[in-house]
Amino acid sequence: MSTVIQPGRTPGTTTPAKSAAASGTRLAVRRFLRHRLAVVGLGVVVFFVLFCFAGPLVYSTDQTHTLLHQVNLAPSGTHWLGTDAVGHDELGRLMYGGKVSLIVGLAAGVLATVIGTLWGAAAGYAGGWIDAVMMRVVDAGIAIPALFILLVVSAITTPDLGGLVLILGFVSWLVPSRLVRAETLTLKNRDYILTLRAIGGTHARAITRHILPNSVSTIAVAATFQIADAILLVAYVSYLGLGVQPPATDWGGMLSVGLTAAYSGYWWLILPPGLAIILVVWAFNAIGDGLRDAFDVRGRG
Amino acid sequence: MTADQSPAAPAAGPILRLDDLGVVFTTQSGEVPAVSGVSLSVDPGETLALVGESGSGKSTVALAAMGLLAGNARATGSATVAGTEVIGAGETALAGLRGRTVSMVFQEPATALDPLTRVGKQIAEVLRNHRDISAKDAAAQAVELLRRVGIPEPDKRASAYPFQLSGGQRQRVVIAMAIANEPALLIADEPTTALDVTVQAEILDLLRRLAAETGTGVLLVTHNMGVVADFADRVAVMYHGEIVETGPVEDVLLRPSHEYTRRLLAAVPRLSVAGEDVPETAPAAASSAPAQAEPVVELDDVSVVFGRGRGAVRALDGVSLTVRHGETLGLVGESGSGKSTASRVALGLIRPTQGTVSLFGTDLARTRSRARRALRSGIGVVLQDPVASLDARMTVGECVAEPLRVHRRALSARDRQKRVAAVLDRVRLPRDVARRAPRELSGGQRQRVSLARALVLEPRLLVADEPTSALDVSVQEAVLDVISELQAELGFACLFVSHDLAVVQHFAQRVVVMRAGRVEEQGDTGTTLLRPETDYTRRLLAAVPVPDPVVQRSRRAERLTTLAAGRTEATA
């Protein structure tokens, strides 16, 4: 609320005009970079993306054939992380499974955020009984555990990759919708939206041009948490044997397979996928925290 | 009050003395000096007003005197309260001082009180913080304090929660807390800014009475020159963190010596009062608006009810008003009088429960959505809050161009830019602000951007809802000048909503006074505000403090006798 006193009738412009828009972004970036954990988290995510998608080009392994002559080998020079029960190289498998985990996690997280954002913005903007009905639907959805729905669906059909993304997206959009609705409620009574409505602007314009851009911080933060959640959910279902089916796998599936051999002391089948899940989920959460701090300055103005 | 516990004020000398006080804030963009070289003193029983515009550092001085500066502030120089040095003092020493020797009244009574604690208990807590008395005695004293600050039925009100009290009563409770331990110094930071004028007058009366009764020194921080004239003995004018002029209130307000004080006083809109030597018709443009020009917007017997059932609130009750082509209609009233609701009904943002609204001769209720939107291209809107009025994520140019994007979709980007540049010229902003973000502009500049956006479609009606009440007086004057000049040039009608009678008197040709959702009276500004017909308008006008201590003193006396007469009449 700093109203600088203007001695003259027409206040001149003192700061250079061009740097205006850029400085806001730069400030946000600086805020993000100051958040150490978020930077580390970003590093971890970049590392795993490179590891899973570029890694196989450098370190190519056979992940389709069963090689019974090299089953359950301990880590060595030829197999850095050893091999599993059917002779697949564990390091290569980590890349192979990670691809599925990351793709499904990212896609499902983004899908959930998109659905949640649209639903929440519509409910909050419409208000009244429409809002009440839409949010009771969300309440009902939250009352049923997502994992339960996932298990029921997986028991009925065996979803492929796309199916998994759809299911995960449709069970986890509820939390972002609540966040975006809350944001919309505060934004829709801002003076600039009232002004737009008074001069005859449409509802669609108010939502797409003002409410959504101004909630982008909430949306982005929610998205990172959704991605982390989705990666974890894929791991759950796969661990229970209901996710992607062999020979394809993901980190949760690898963990499940490895745990059957836990008493044999094959630690290299458990630790790597377990650590990968923990690291990536933590990294996305840290990025979310960093984004929240970074966006804070932009929003205030 | 027990004698041995009374504050240890020295027998003579000022109760507050600031000597070469400087405050520097450390922020992301480096060191920002807020206050420098401030020296002043307040004697017991004296009221010193610290005036200045926003950003002048007056609140910072008040906080420094309490030792309440934020963590990123660094104070230099000296500030002594009753002989105790505040700057550099430890937290325990300060805690012993605060609430007992010096206490503070803040601007916003709604946030100064704990919403979940009964007011009597909150006052008792202040008492028990500094004195060793039983809970029962403290409660009894709290009731006594409520009686002193003029709360009716204090024994019952002591068990009320803050939300059950009106804004004025809440501020009385805050004052009761501030005087609970009979402080030697009271610091009041804009104590009446959040209140209506009639309530403001009562609170000022109360503060004046308390200061006189107990010999408390008062440091009054305000931007309102009328309040200064009404209350202060001496005045210190602040500008850019420094005191530019100090002196007795008559000297500073009537014979200012510093250039800045002169400019500041010249910018304050003065309420012309009957009996004063004033020109008969205040707004010059009054004659230029033909009395029977075509109505631009017309509210006919409009009622608005919010909610339903027992919780329903009747915000407007049978309101009829007309704004004609080329004229400015001032809509005044206290908070809750329904003036903003009326303006929103005129804009079509609120559907009337009853009655009709016609815009440009078309009944709004009978138009379909597309036609109604087209009709609305003839409206421009400027709202109160300079921060919330512009989308922080757009550039100024995008904000101004928005109406063009809504109503002139065929316009090419080049033409749009041309129109934006032209309208920025009109509101006297440099063209290159179009590429800047709203947050880089000052409040006055932002309101001019809002005005540019309102005018870019060359509307036939401008609705301005308190467009300048968040601005400093000098900026307010500039913004109002731009509006009236453009009105003369473009000939739009203007519905001007304001709580500031002085501004309306200068700016509007006709005025509608609202009270509790009804139209109390309406007519030409010259006659209605100089010779009001209803008691309410008369009371409202009498409560407005004028920035002339001599005139204000006689106005106050007059108002108090009228009120007293009214009271005896009521009891008789």
- ipTM of the modeled complex: 0.73
Supply the CATH number for residue B163's domain. 3.40.50.300
What pLDDT does residue A119 have? Answer: 92
Q: Average the pLDDT over B413-418 and give the result.
A: 89
In a domain, B419, yes or no: yes
* pLDDT exceeds cutoff 50 at B530: yes
Backbone angles phi, psi at A63, to 5 degrees: -110, 15
Range of the domain at B296: 272-306+313-378+459-543
Taking contacts as CB-CB distances below 8 angstroms, the residues of chain A near B395 are 20-21
B223 and B335 fall within a common domain: no
Q: Are residues B288 and B421 in the same domain?
A: no
Taking contacts as CB-CB distances below 8 angstroms, the residues of chain A near B373 are 200-202
For chain B, the domain total comes to: 3
Confidence of residue A181 (pLDDT cuts 50, 70, 90): very high
Distance CA(A289)–CA(B309), nearest Å, equals 45
Q: Does residue B383 sit at the A interface (CB-CB below 8 Å)?
A: yes
Range from B234-248, B272-286, B541-555 carrying the lowest mean pLDDT? B272-286
Q: Is A69 on the interface with B (CB under 8 A)?
A: no
Answer yes or no: is B569 within a domain: no
Q: Does residue B140 share a domain with residue B233?
A: yes
Convert the pLDDT of each residue in B306-339 to its tens digit. 877 777 778 888 888 888 888 889 888 887 788 8
Best residue of B25, B58, B381, B465 to probe chain A, by most A CBs closer than 10 Å: B381
Chain B residues 361-380 with a CB less than 8 Å from chain A: 372-377, 379-380
All residues at 6 or more sequence positions from A243 whose CB lies less than 8 Å from its CB, including other chains: A154, A164, A234, A237, A250, A252, A253
Regarding whether B355 and B251 lie in a shared domain, the answer is no
Spell out the long-range contacts of A270-275 with Cβ–Cβ below 8 A and sequence spacing 24 or more.
A272/A81, A272/A90, A272/A91, A272/A94, A273/A94, A273/A97
* Chain B residue whose CA is closest to A17: B436
Q: How does residue B292 score in pLDDT terms, banded at 50, 70 and 90?
A: low
Shared domain check, B474 and B537? yes
Residue B558 lies in a domain: no
- Would you call B59 helix, strand, or coil by DSSP? helix
Cross-strand pairs, B299: B321, B357
**If one looks up domain A27-57+84-180+216-300 in CATH, what number appears?**
1.10.3720
Residue A261: pLDDT over 80: no
Would you say residue B170 lies in a domain? yes
What was the pLDDT predicted at B552? 85
H helices of B359-472, in order, are: 369-376, 396-407, 413-426, 443-455
Please list, residue by residue across B213-240, b when 16 or more beta carbons sit within 10 angstroms of its beta carbon and e when fewer do. Answer: eeebbbbbbbbbbbbbbbbbbbbbbbbb
Co-location of B137 and B210 in the same domain? yes
**B438 and B321 fall within a common domain:** no
Out of B388, B437, B453, name the one closest to residue A20 (CB): B437
Task: Break chain A into its structural domains and give their ranges.
Answer: 27-57+84-180+216-300
Burial B348-361 (b: 16+ CB within 10 A, else e): bebebbebebbbbe
CA distances from A279 to A59, A161, A172, A256, B235 (A): 22, 23, 21, 18, 64
Distance from CA of A196 to the nearest CA of B (A): 8
B369 and B507 share one domain = yes
Query: Does residue B367 share a domain with residue B485?
Result: yes
Chain B within 8 Å of A298 (Cβ-Cβ)?
Answer: yes
Q: Is the pLDDT of residue B288 over 60?
A: no
**Residue B565 Cα to chain centre, angstroms:** 29
Q: Per-residue pLDDT averaged across A246-274, rounded? A: 79
Is B2 within a domain? Answer: no
Taking the Cβ of residue A128 and every Cβ of chain B, the question of whether any pair is shorter than 8 Å is answered with no
Q: How far is CA A256 from CA A249, B88, B129, B535, in A?
A: 10, 63, 62, 84
**Chain A interface test: which of B261, B343, B379, B393 (most A C-beta within 10 Å):** B393
Region B377-384: mean pLDDT is 87
Number of Cα atoms under 13 Å in the Cβ half of residue A179? 23
Confidence of residue B1 (pLDDT cuts 50, 70, 90): very low
Report how many Cβ contacts below 8 Å link chain A to chain B.
141
Closest residue by Cα to residue B475 from B503, B456, B498: B503
Residue B286 lies in a domain: yes
Q: At a CB cut-off of 8 Å and minimum separation 6, what does A247 contact?
A: A63, A64
* Residue A213 touches partner B, C-beta closer than 8 Å: yes
Of B349, B347, B388, the closest CA to residue B470 belongs to B388
In this structure, is residue B5 part of a structural domain?
Answer: no
Q: Do B375 and A200 lie within an 8 Å CB cutoff?
A: yes
Q: What is the pLDDT of residues A116-129, one digit of tens each?
A: 999 999 999 988 89
In this structure, the answer to whether residues B261 and B282 fall within a common structural domain is no
- Subunit contact B430:A1, Cβ cutoff 8 A: no
More confident residue, A11 or B193: B193
Q: Is residue B22 less than 8 Å (CB to CB) from chain A?
A: no
Band (A111; pLDDT cuts 50, 70, 90): very high
In chain B, % of residues over pLDDT 70: 93
The secondary structure element, H or E, covering residue A181 is helix A174-187
Residues B241 and B324 occupy one common structural domain: no
A13 CB neighbours in chain B (<8 A) are 430, 432-433, 436
Domain assignment present for residue B465? The answer is yes
The pLDDT confidence band at residue A301, using thresholds 50, 70 and 90, is very low
**Which position has the higher pLDDT, A274 or A61?**
A274
Q: Which of residues 249-278 of B touch A (CB under 8 A)?
A: 263
**Cα–Cα nearest to A101, from A171, A43, A45:** A45
Q: Identify the pLDDT of residue A11.
A: 38
What pLDDT is stored for residue B3 in this prediction? 42
pLDDT of residue B510 exceeding 80: yes
| Final residue of a structural domain among B410, B431, B453 | B453
Residue of A nearest to B475 (CA): A6
The burial class, CB within 10 Å (0-12 / 13-18 / 19+), for B420 is buried
Distance between CA B428 and CA B443 in Å, rounded?
Answer: 15
Same domain flag for B231 and B218 = yes
Check CB contact under 8 Å for A214 and B385. Answer: no
The closest of B303, B423, B293, B407 to B360, measured between CA atoms, is B293
